[in-house]
Chain A
Amino acid sequence: MELANAFLIFANYVLVPSITYGAQLALGALGVTLIFGVLRFSNFSHGEMMSFGTMVTILVTWVFQKSSISIYPLPTALLALPIGILATVCFSLAADKIVYSYYREVKAKPVILMMASLGIMFVLNGAVRLFVGPGDRQFFDGERFIVTASEVKAYTGLAEGVSIRSTQAITVFISILLFVLLYLFLQKTRAGTAMRAYSDNRTLATLSGINSQAVVRITWILAASLAVVAGVLYGLDKSFKPFTYFQILLPIFAATIVGGVGNPLGAVVGGFIISFSEIALTYPYRKVVLYIYPDIDLNGYILQLVPTDYKFSISFTILVLVLLLRPSGLFRGVSL
């Protein structure tokens, strides 16, 4: 009984949130990994692409809300999401045409493309603040919970319960759907195979007649779409604040590198490793331990390994450790 309580409280505060957050990071990391696999540079503007797409989605959501268009019990933002994706895809294709394509043509080193992406990052960063300001915004509407903690308590008769918010369920559902679709696209379709071939051996792909421009375009479309979905799901689950989306770049890069840059499966696994580490290490275990060992004297300690304010140090530490111990990541990276 006490063990069940300990498990439920752990599930409520660590397991469920880290699965949700992990799925969001994985979606972001997939975009970064696709760009790296095909275009061979680390896209620093990825967080801002998430932010930009989420902003557009929020603006459209407001329009829908004003005109009382809704898909209750689902959040209206899901209805606005395709428009956010479309806007961000258009932006990234334009950015590729105006900025990146030039550097590809002159065969610039990856670090130059990376710096260019840093420039795009600042442009988007400024644009988002210009449109909606730096403030914190909630744009979730619809049914908040699927299962509440008190329902679980009433049903099981236990002291603790686990709640599942609808945003968490939506995140997991959409993520799994996208993981499967992306896998099928890359493995089973002609365009996906061409994309992997291009990532594997650019010269030979061109010699085989694979159109490099088409591959680059598909890559941006996929990366931008994944970025916006990740951004909107994250924003629905927590809130939309431009600065947070800038910060989220670190855990996303960590997830990408842990899994092996350029490896989509690695990006997904990496996302969950980072999210679980971040949440599990910042959670105070006092209550969990007290359920298992009721007689122990904790002397007022809350048993939190790392203060929440330092949560970014966890991604950073994992990043450094992986780069030192296994630079190619868990699943050897660098081609799709």
Chain B
Amino acid sequence: MSFFGGSNMYGGYGPIKILNGCSISVEPGEVSVIVGPNGAGKSTAMKALLGLLELTSGDVFLDGKSIDALNTRQRVMAGIGFVPQTENIFPGLTVDENLSMGGYLRADSVADTKQEVFKLFPILGDRRKQLAGTLSGGQRQQLAVGRALMTNPQVLLLDEPTAGVSPNVSAQLLYEISNLKTRDMAIIMVEQNARQALEIADTGYVLVMGENKFTGSGPDLLKDSEVKKTFLGG
């Protein structure tokens, strides 16, 4: 069994079934990327991993134990960090305060973790007293990732971190995210930007209609002619 993930997940919103038995998992120090067409259930799968969506069947597990019974807050406390796609910062708080709130649950001092985040994203350090709402798109995403890192998570879930960010910045951002692997963090990312994301993926999942259509290492999937034809535009 993998370190973290969900297996045979079924679920949806009321009568609408979105997940039809998909399985996603990740190991420490690896990046799993979920790609697929619109409406394939990518974000829904991530919500299920976080406990924001109740599964009708299937399991979510962390470190060998089922965490189905935990609610979102408890999962965050158990070491799962989450970066939502939108509204992922507190615009009226300063950069520094955003990070403090990210580490709200921690009983110990968050100062060291803040320094690490500033090392990872130096621009945030320069702007620590600035209101988060005044940051640029790329800086906001960096802050959103930084905020999620403040709990020192073992697992980091990112829902389209490069959405609405210019191509240069998004390449940079993906590079920085993949660097987190060196800290033995397990990373699962949903990405619209399939080609760029698969390049850094240890495992890529192509979801279609809530099912695993293709699974493989990122570079392999990029080479696969069928994946290329159907999802990467030839």
**Contacts A194-B101, A210-B101 given; does A204 touch B90 at CB 8 Å:** yes
A→B interface (CB under 8 Å): 190, 193-194, 196-197, 199-201, 203-210, 335-336
A-B contact pairs, 15 of them (CB 8 A): A193-B93, A193-B101, A194-B104, A197-B90, A197-B101, A200-B93, A201-B87, A201-B89, A205-B90, A206-B73, A207-B72, A207-B76, A209-B77, A209-B104, A210-B101
**Contacts A193-B101, A197-B97 given; does A209 touch B90 at CB 8 Å:** no
Q: Judging by beta carbons under 8 Å apart, are A209 and B105 in contact?
A: yes
A190 to B84 alpha-carbon distance, docked (Å): 23
Q: Judging by beta carbons under 8 Å apart, are A193 and B97 in contact?
A: yes
Residues of A within 8 A of B97 (CB): 193, 196-197
Residues of A within 8 A of B102 (CB): 208
Residues of A within 8 A of B122 (CB): none
A265 to B125 alpha-carbon distance, docked (Å): 28
Task: Tell me how far the C-beta of A68 lies from the nearest C-beta in chain B, rounded to whole angstroms.
Answer: 50
Task: Tell me how far the C-beta of B36 lies from the nearest C-beta in chain A, rounded to whole angstroms.
Answer: 24
B147 at the interface (CB under 8 A from A): yes
Q: Judging by beta carbons under 8 Å apart, are A208 and B147 in contact?
A: yes
A242 to B37 alpha-carbon distance, docked (Å): 63
B91 at the interface (CB under 8 A from A): yes
A196-B93, A203-B84 are known; give 12 further A-B pairs, CB within 8 A: A190-B104, A197-B93, A200-B90, A200-B91, A204-B87, A204-B89, A204-B147, A205-B90, A206-B73, A208-B76, A208-B101, A335-B92
Select the residue from A190, A196, A204, A210 with max chain B CB neighbours within 10 A.
A204
Q: 7 smallest A-B Cβ distances: which pairs?
A: A209-B105, A200-B90, A335-B92, A200-B92, A197-B101, A197-B90, A209-B104
Q: Judging by beta carbons under 8 Å apart, are A208 and B105 in contact?
A: yes
Q: Judging by beta carbons under 8 Å apart, are B82 and A205 in contact?
A: no
Task: Tell me how far the C-beta of A46 lies from the nearest C-beta in chain B, rounded to whole angstroms.
Answer: 23
Task: Tell me how far the C-beta of B182 lies from the nearest C-beta in chain A, rounded to whole angstroms.
Answer: 25
**Contacts A194-B104, A209-B104 given; does A204 touch B92 at CB 8 Å:** no
The main secondary structure of chain A at its interface with chain B is: helix
Q: Judging by beta carbons under 8 Å apart, are A208 and B92 in contact?
A: no
B88 at the interface (CB under 8 A from A): yes
Select the residue from B76, B90, B93, B147 with max chain A CB neighbours within 10 A.
B90
B100 at the interface (CB under 8 A from A): yes
Q: Judging by beta carbons under 8 Å apart, are B84 and A207 in contact?
A: yes
A306 to B102 alpha-carbon distance, docked (Å): 53
Which residue of chain A lies nearest to B150 when distances are taken between CB atoms in the complex? A208
Q: Judging by beta carbons under 8 Å apart, are A207 and B82 in contact?
A: yes
For residues 31 through 90 of chain B, which have their beta carbon under 8 Å from a beta carbon of chain A?
A: 72-73, 76-77, 82, 84, 87-90
A253 to B115 alpha-carbon distance, docked (Å): 44
Residues of A within 8 A of B105 (CB): 208-209
Task: Tell me how far the C-beta of A336 lies from the nearest C-beta in chain B, rounded to whole angstroms.
Answer: 7
Residues of A within 8 A of B82 (CB): 207
Residues of B within 8 A of A204 (CB): 84, 87-90, 147
Residues of B within 8 A of A190 (CB): 100, 104
Residues of B within 8 A of A199 (CB): 92
Which residue of chain B lies nearest to A263 when distances are taken between CB atoms in the complex? B92
Residues of B within 8 A of A196 (CB): 90, 92-93, 97
A181 to B109 alpha-carbon distance, docked (Å): 25
Residues of B within 8 A of A205 (CB): 90, 101
A133 to B72 alpha-carbon distance, docked (Å): 51
A158 to B91 alpha-carbon distance, docked (Å): 55
The 0/1 profile, CB within 8 Å of A marked 1, for residues 101-128 of chain B is 1101100000000000000000000000
